[in-house]
Amino acid sequence: MIKPLLLSTADIEGGAARAAYRLHQGLQCLEVPSQMLVQTKYSDDGAVFAPQQKLLKGFAKLRPALDSLPLQFYPNRDRTPYSLQWFPTGISSQAAECPDLINLHWVCAGYLQVEAIAKLKKPLVWTLHDMWPFTGGCHYSQACDGYLKSCGACPQLGSDQNWDLSRWVWQRKAKAWKNLNLTIITPSVWLAKCATASSLFQDLRVEVIPNGLDTKRYKPVSRQVARDLLNLDPEKQLVLFGAMEATSDPRKGFHLLQPALQKLSNSRWQDRIELVVFGSSRPRNLSELGFQSHYLGKLSDDPALALVYAAADVFVAPAMQENLPNTVMEALACGTPCVAFNIGGIPDMIEHQHNGYLVQPYNVEDLAKGIAWVLENRGELRLGDRARERAEQEFRQELQAQRYLSLFGELVGTNNAKLKR
């Protein structure tokens, strides 16, 4: 039996971490002895390992700040995540002890140094949760295509110098990973195309395997029961929005959802809609949306999230760049149709006017139109049933684990054959 080791900065805190942990659970359900090695552990899973000594735990907490120190030389940078991964890592020997194969996930926030990845003397599979592995430090490139060549003059750093931090990070990656035994997995077709086009990964094998989730946990339940438990109006049309840092992270698009809702408030929907938000508390300076709003704060446990999705009539994900967001997958599994911009990995999940609505990128009027269309057609077109069907067909946890296990077996077999020669 193959023994994979999954490396991730965390296990269940954050979207990428939760996606990695779901794979870990799926592999264990197939009786695969999967283990995770993380910088910070939040679960009580005995197969997830993190630093135990007080000194090492304290050091783990300092790593994100230490990693970001060089960014202080760029005072005009965007306040978006940017990872340098320059600080020395001490896990290479620990990671190489027992597994047949190492599956990297999101390993930033100071967890895994760029150069340390090349010292992991095992077949490597890297599951990309954003663009960082093939960029000079940014996690989403926005409108920049510097990663196609060698980065430099990074707009997110506010830099006009070719030899800046982004070029330094890119060159470190190019040097360290030149002869790496590395296979790439992307959850979305969009990210696969970006990786294949990138200067760092253009010669590597890239496979698309969608993320998975437990469809027995995320499933439709009675909307009326869910609303009663959450103390939400049973008569209103509920528009749901949620993400990590839902209202404060510009990439999540709340600033685009607001004017779309304002347009709806000036229409016949004025007295029929209420907004529900998770992942954020009520902002101090709340813009007038025209609807009553409910802010549920941070929700991290699956049962609470599933209940919120099930209570809603439509889930809106107005993100400006996305891979394969957990939130859309979770909503679909709960039978809630989704509205989102036609960007990134969103079209892998939402089928236009079949289980939701794909919006013209960043078009606020079309976003309002899409929300209204779902509310008008949800029942007649069985959008909720189709949403659930999509999740069952493509995003079941066991299906994801089987696809990974097949690839792992192929790679370990190939590696063993090379060693015998």
At 243-263, the pLDDT tens digits run 877 777 888 899 999 999 999
The pLDDT of residue 419: 39
The pLDDT of residue 420: 44
Cα separation, 102 vs 123, whole angstroms: 6
CA-nearest of 156, 133, 68, 85 to 164 is 156
H-helix or E-strand spanning residue 29: helix 15-29
Residue with tokens 């809603």: 312
Cα separation, 291 vs 180, whole angstroms: 54
The pLDDT of residue 104: 97
Residue 138: strand pairing partners: 82
Q: Collect the ranges in the chain with pLDDT lower than 70.
A: 90, 92-98, 284-288, 414-421
The pLDDT of residue 312: 97
- 403 Cβ contact partners less than 8 Å away, ≥ 6 residues apart: 209
The pLDDT of residue 301: 85
Q: Characterise 419 by phi-psi region: left (phi > 0), alpha (psi -120 to 50), beta (else).
A: alpha
Measure Cα distances from 106 to 109, 169, 271, 378 in Å. Answer: 9, 17, 43, 36
Q: What angle do CA 243, 246, 250 make, to 5 degrees?
A: 115
Do the Cβ atoms of 133 and 151 come closer than 8 Å?
no
The pLDDT of residue 55: 75
The pLDDT of residue 121: 82
The pLDDT of residue 114: 96
**Sheet holding 237-242: strands in order across?**
292-295, 273-278, 237-242, 314-317, 338-341, 356-359
